[in-house]
Structure 1
């Protein structure tokens, strides 16, 4: 997949919009040579660029520290104090999604763009709500409409997720229809899947499962079990990923603006301040997981050349430890850093998984474990582990050996089995998929996250982010009403939102 430069598209859009706003309508209609719209393919590319380039998501970003996959030992460059501020709204990108949908109207390929638009509406509503709680939805994005709503009310989180699930259902139906129509064999502007509608449909349904599993505590409210069963039991209607080649991923290259976060030029700046987190690394050590030798280098202080595979030389830093001592120990070579070979030797690094096969298989295994659908949970659990290991090019013999480890062999459709699914799912999320590792911890408590003196949130892992400051300046009444209905009037990062009650 080629990653297009986001700045370039923003500039093009800005220029085109400026032309449209300053050109009399009569001139536009009289001169057939003047452009009057932005092609939906260009708008789609801009939406995909946003998905690729959200500042806090991505490899080796702040989000992955919140997931406790790695820690930073220099306070000048960041911290892991969990004293979270505000999350961002994504309505600007949603307006681009709506514009894409509008510009596709009347085209012979209208259905496929509308299907993708429904998916991304669901994607960004979910993105915002799982971070914040209630958000504007029914009255959002209507400032330029005849009603001209500039201060939208907030919809309760249950209503938001009903809409998200409806959008994902409709997106699957519409993309099925699109595949039967003339001129819809590929979708232009798509640099994730090169316009392959089959892969988009699998992505939509894999994401649908992610959202449903995230709502596991709301089974009775939203009939989650039957919705999950409907997808898993009907693969002809709801096709799903069949392997890691279906993953929705960002890839990197030696192109300015598209280099992997860790690379040869960043080695001198970040090598000794990025440390593999103990929450993650200790899980690999406990199971003699072969992925440990791929993602991490042994701590120089403990490494012995005559015993290069000694797991005792792989030492993660605890998220809760104070950074001062951590820096001292890092300088002494007492921690494991990200693998120099894998992460610093090229500008490509590794692909960044947005929505992946392993996650899907863990979600199916969880659904079977909970009794929501029929099937063999062990098979999907093992498929998920295999998919993750294949991503790291682990030899098949090592995969087979790992799956016979007594700690790894599936313990059945019970609490122990569920704990295994959730633990291995966390491992597979290493440095990918945004905040999903954190969200699964928040929902289930698995694995245990480290808390120590570095935590500046009263010894707690937060449960949400704050609303954007701009809402308190421009939409005061409605944001305060949302806080009152959810969190006793306080924009508290430790308050419990509806989906996890």
Structure 2
């Protein structure tokens, strides 16, 4: 896979700014020094650059309780969330522009299929963070008549539209492959234009959306929709292994270095501490991944017993940072594995949508009785093996791990479901944005740590607040949305429709 060049990214960003200026394309003069169109490939690259939700070792991964921060100067451990950083409508405007610029081209279907997927992706990104959002009247500031203050659609309406978009994206990408084959689509730094991998990613994401709506199975017929995809692999091809993962690669180039690297070793080495919610799950099962992702705490390490699990000590997310810093200075905590994360600028690939997640999702659906004739254990084991393969765990260690009593699948029972969700959380380590948190929010598994540093009344919040800009520019509609959902309060602990 090609590495994304972030120097080019600046050029792409400048191109995208044209889309949001006060002067629309059709009113530009014929001055040859002014751009009157932007190639769809450039717009695609800019859209791809906005996929995701924080990278490895970001605040998103702290919210997932994979790591903690000991210095309060650089961040905190609290869950007193404010407003969502931003909506994604600027990115969606680029998606619409990409579709427009592709009209009439031989590969129009390719761009339009991806356009439908990205609309589904970014609407999902927004709605599962705040609740109701504008959709039916969004992106119509240039319409006639112009809509600059769009109404909010209910979260149910938003997800019905998302599911329709994903179905249409799969149909259109099939049409594109039949029409012009699987030739490369320009501007794609994830799959180098491979439409087959894009189709598999779209359908894998479709399964993610469906499983996140598990509480609405009866209302939306989620089980039937899920079974339709699983039972027809010819129409809905899925990821086949970690080689199909949608990943971002890093390299020693400006703006594209892995977040932990030799240049910042002295800056964050002793303030990034492994999180107990994650590390203790590895420790309890003597999971071989523990030796790959973490270093033993120097205070407890014994050279004659280098794999002593008692030397792997994590900090709780809810711990007071003052005491945490004291213990860190004394060498009583495990840090990220130095050789893996600080020896070069490449680090490890960052998974956006991956095979392991997909297989755990299918295993969960089978466990819940959604799939006709499926074998949950096979998909559960596929998922664990895929995660192990990502870390290049030795085959003997994988075989031994799968035989452990807490790992051997306990059948389509509540205990079996707990195993699936726990192992899914482990496999999410430092990838896939906040999907770990969203799975916890939906299922309560694994239990997230709450302590003195929580700063939210001992609760893990259910949502973020709406952007401040909405109260300034679209006040009546955002207030109506709050009234219909949460009794008028922009409460981070309120439960949105999808998790009720």
The runs of 5 or more residues in structure 2 that have no matched partner are none
Please give the secondary structure, in 2, of the residue aligned with 1:51.
Answer: coil
Q: Is the 8 A contact 2:241 2:355 kept in 1?
A: yes
**Change over 3 Å in CA distance of 1:314–1:37 after alignment to 2:** same
Q: So what's the TM-score if we normalise by structure 1?
A: 0.96
Whether the aligned pair in 2 keeps the contact of 1:209 and 1:360 (CA below 8 Å) is yes
> How many angstroms apart in 1 are the aligned matches of 2:205 and 2:319?
35
Structure 2 residue 346 is matched with structure 1 residue 343: no
Q: Which residue of 1 aligns with 2:36?
A: 36
Comparing 131-140 with 16-25, which one deviates more in the overlay? Answer: 16-25
Secondary structure at the counterpart of residue 352 of structure 2? strand
Residue 60 of structure 1 pairs with residue 57 of structure 2: yes
Give the distance between the partners of 1:184 and 1:199, measured in 2 at CA. Answer: 10
Equivalent-residue separation in structure 2 for 1:259 and 1:446 (angstroms): 32
Distance 2:24 2:156 in 1: 39
Say if 1:471 and 1:293 are closer, same or farther in 2 by CA, change over 3 A. Answer: same
Asked if 2 retains the 8 angstrom alpha-carbon contact of 1:20 and 1:36, the reply is: no
Q: Is the 8 A contact 2:15 2:38 kept in 1?
A: no
Contact kept in structure 2, 1:108 and 1:183, CA below 8 Å = no
- Determine the structure 2 residue equivalent to 1:2: 3
Does the CA contact (< 8 Å) of 2:69 and 2:77 recur in 1?
yes
Equivalent pair of 2:62/2:68 in contact (CA under 8 Å) = yes
Partner of 1:297: 295
Map Cα deviations across residues 21-54 of structure 1 (whole Å, 9 max, x no partner).
69965637xx7x97531110110000011116x5
In the other structure, the counterpart of 2:30 is: 27
- Look up the match of 2:430: 431
SS at match of 1:329: helix
SS of equivalent to 2:99: helix
The Cα offsets for residues 285-329 of structure 1, whole Å up to 9 and x where unpaired, read as 111100000000000000000000000000010001100000000
Q: Which runs of 4+ in 1 moved over 4 A?
A: 15-26
Instruction: Describe how 1:57-206 pairs up with structure 2 within 5 A.
Output: 57-87=54-84, 88-182=86-180, 185-206=183-204
Cα distance change on mapping 1:112 and 1:283 into 2, 3 Å: same
Query: How do residues 343-362 of structure 1 correspond to structure 2 at under 5 angstroms?
Result: 343-362=341-360
Supply the distance in 1 between the matched residues of 2:464 and 2:22 (Cα, whole angstroms): 38
Say if 1:294 and 1:339, in contact at 8 Å, map to a contact too.
yes
What is the rounded CA distance, in whole Å, between the counterparts of 1:22 and 1:420 in structure 2? Answer: 54
TM (norm. structure 2) is 0.97
Q: For 1:89 and 1:440, how far apart are their aligned partners in 2?
A: 22
- Residue 8 of structure 1 and its aligned partner are, at CA, apart by 2.7
Distance (whole Å) between structure 1 residues aligned to residue 150 and residue 433 of structure 2: 28
Larger CA deviation: 17-26 vs 374-383? 17-26
2:78–2:456: 8 Å Cα contact kept in structure 1? yes
Cα distance, 1:124 vs structure 2 = 0.2
Name the CA distance, whole Å, in 2 between partners of 1:477 and 1:90: 20
Give 3-state SS (helix, strand or coil) of 2:51's partner. helix
Write the distance in 2 (CA, Å) between the matches of 1:27 and 1:63.
Answer: 46
Moved more, 143-152 or 458-467: 143-152
In the TM superposition, residue 17 of structure 1 has moved relative to its aligned partner by: 7.8
1:192-247, Cα deviation, whole Å (9 max, x unpaired) = 00000000000000000000000000001110000100111111100001100000
